[in-house]
A and B are shown apart, each in its own frame.
Chain A
Amino acid sequence: MAQVRSAGSGTNFPKPPEGSWTAHYPELGTEPISYEDSISPEFYELEREAIFKRVWLNVGRVEQLPRNGSYFTKELAFANTSIVVVRGRDGTVRAFHNICRHRGNKLVWTDLPRQETSGNCRQFVCKYHGWRYELDGSCSFVQQEREFFDLDKADYGLVSVHCDAWAGFIFVNLDAEPQQTLAEFLGPMITSIGDYPFHQMTDRFYYRAVVGSNWKIFLDAFQEFYHAPVLHAKQSPVAARPEVQLAGYEGLHYQIEGPHRLVSSTAGRGWLMPRKDLKPMETLTRSGLFGPWDAPDLGTLPAGINPGRAKWWGMDSFQLWPNFVILIWERNWYLTYHYWPTSHNTHVFEGNLYFVPARNARERLAQEMAAVTFKEFGLQDGNTLEATQIMLESRVVKAFPLNDQEILCRHLHKVTADWVNDYVRKRAEA
């Protein structure tokens, strides 16, 4: 363990008394790990059943449903389904499988059947034969009802999906009987940030990409920053590159609770940096990768933020099992990541940046600078994922060493294995 502390020429932030973050969670081990879970079609089939069809999944925020009758659809490829999430006449948010009970047509879609859509309506009407459904899912109208045989509309409501919300984040669970409530599932580490003013941050940049890698490969890329000084070196002004790479990377605080994990990190403080280390556009806009330099006043933040009470705190990345990340910045904005598997070696990535609404053009331009910079870095990450996936699939190498700064990758693959093993065992017992 001593080698871990002395390796590299970083800043040597304190580690737990065990000598490393990984040793602090001994169930993780320190052995090289297999990436078979990211290249096997058979394993992906198990993940669909064991994980994605029985876990709470975030599908959006309440601000996407501003009025009674507001709805959006979500494609859930891992379950071969689409759901519609809607705010009813009573204000309650509900979720349904997006299928007409008559002959199985997709109920809510616009021009392209596979494309997500959103809008506002008084009721849902099927394009095919005109069956209608209330916003609470009940069937209210059957075209030429007298032509059917002993049909009772009460038996033909939409198929509901378990739906709950926390801190304005809407979650669904496809399991017939979820094993845990949403609050139980989230646990104290996550719910302790529930009072963060997410609802104030309604200026939103929503990015989407189809990625040629397993969903966990991208999660791994964004849950360690060991890569950042190297992969993204060409994003720094030339004068700053040697320092960036030499410094390496050390996290401030790592925390694991149940299936969820957290890394707290420093972040660039442009307003304190010499101009030679900044891009001129950063100086002009007072903004960059780490967000606008001039932060809005949010008052006191909830106790769950910066749980390690790190002095040089710049951000918390909360990794919610299995595929949802909330990243909260010291400059008082946040972003989310979602990784939606579509096969064993493809997934859809979504990134959302959320800011307190700009009051003027200067603040809006600072948002633009942060968002454009996010994309420049994200494009490098996305390309690298495909390069990783391609070679993992060669199976030339079967075990890969992870260092202490990659502890969260180790945890993700362990939790994945635990859920799949648990499912396989219960299925064998049944």
Chain B
Amino acid sequence: MSDALLPSQFSNLEPYAAKWCLPTERQRFAQRMASTMDEMQAFYDAFFPRGEEAIAYCEKFPIDDMPEDAQRLLQLLYSLVMVSFPVEVWRQPHVPDAGASALDLVIEPGP
């Protein structure tokens, strides 16, 4: 039955999983820049209230041996961090006054 990407108790977040469960910061940043504020607001509104519950779920596992669905839930939390500045502060996907600059994350820790 399982096409589910996330642990079953977070099934209400499945509509966002395919778009936001991304393993690297580079992918998450690109997804943010390619998204509208309405899309990010909907994702944020659905997930933020369950943020603490999701963190508590993920932290039960050893960091270097997380089940795949928990890893994807953690990636979804990373994406919540990624959209938080646009949603909470700027009301736009890109950093104010940063039009021409880029800062690439080359190495990041797992998972």
Contact = CB atoms under 8 A, between A and B. Distances in A.
Contacts of A359: 63
Contacts of B109: 203-205, 355, 357-358, 364, 367
Contacts of B52: 284
A280 B103 contact: no
Contacts of A234: 89-90, 96-97
Interface in B73-111: 74, 77-78, 80-82, 84-85, 88-90, 95-109, 111
A70 to B, nearest CB: 15
A34 interface: no
B66 A361 contact: yes
Interface stretch (A101-109, A301-309, A373-381, A408-416): A373-381
Given A235-B89, A379-B98, A380-B96, A361 B61 contact: yes
A152 B106 CA distance: 42
Interface residues of A, number: 48
Contact of B85 (A208, A209, A376): A376
A280 B48 contact: yes
Interface stretch (A88-96, A246-254, A311-319, A382-390): A382-390
Interface string B37-54: 000000000001001100
B58 interface: yes
B84 A280 contact: yes
Nearest to B98: A379
B95 A237 contact: no
B78 A368 contact: yes
Interface of A: 203-212, 231, 234-238, 279-281, 284-285, 349, 351, 355, 357-365, 367-369, 371-373, 375-376, 378-380, 382-384, 386
B104 A386 contact: no
A365 B97 contact: no
Given A281-B80, A351-B103, A382 B63 contact: no
A236 B89 CA distance: 7
B107 A205 contact: yes
Given A372-B25, A376-B95, A209 B104 contact: yes
Given A360-B63, A362-B55, A379-B101, A281 B108 contact: no
A209 B106 CA distance: 10
28 contacts: A205-B108, A209-B103, A211-B101, A212-B100, A231-B97, A235-B89, A238-B89, A279-B89, A280-B88, A281-B48, A284-B55, A351-B103, A361-B61, A361-B77, A362-B56, A362-B59, A365-B55, A367-B109, A375-B103, A376-B85, A379-B101, A379-B102, A380-B97, A380-B101, A382-B101, A382-B102, A383-B98, A386-B101
A368 B25 CA distance: 9
A351 B104 CA distance: 10
A281 B84 CA distance: 6
Contacts of A371: 25, 105, 108
Contacts of B82: 372
A204 B63 CA distance: 15
Contacts of B103: 207-209, 349, 351, 375, 378-379, 382
Contacts of A360: 58-59, 61-63
Nearest to A382: B101
Nearest to A378: B103
Nearest to B52: A284
B107 A209 contact: no
A34 B59 CA distance: 54
Nearest to B66: A361
Nearest to B83: A281
B74 A207 contact: no
B75 to A, nearest CB: 10
Residue from B51, B61, B63, B103 whose CB has the most chain A CB atoms within 10 Å: B103
Contacts of B74: 361, 364-365
Contact of A386 (B100, B106, B107): B100
A355 B107 CA distance: 13
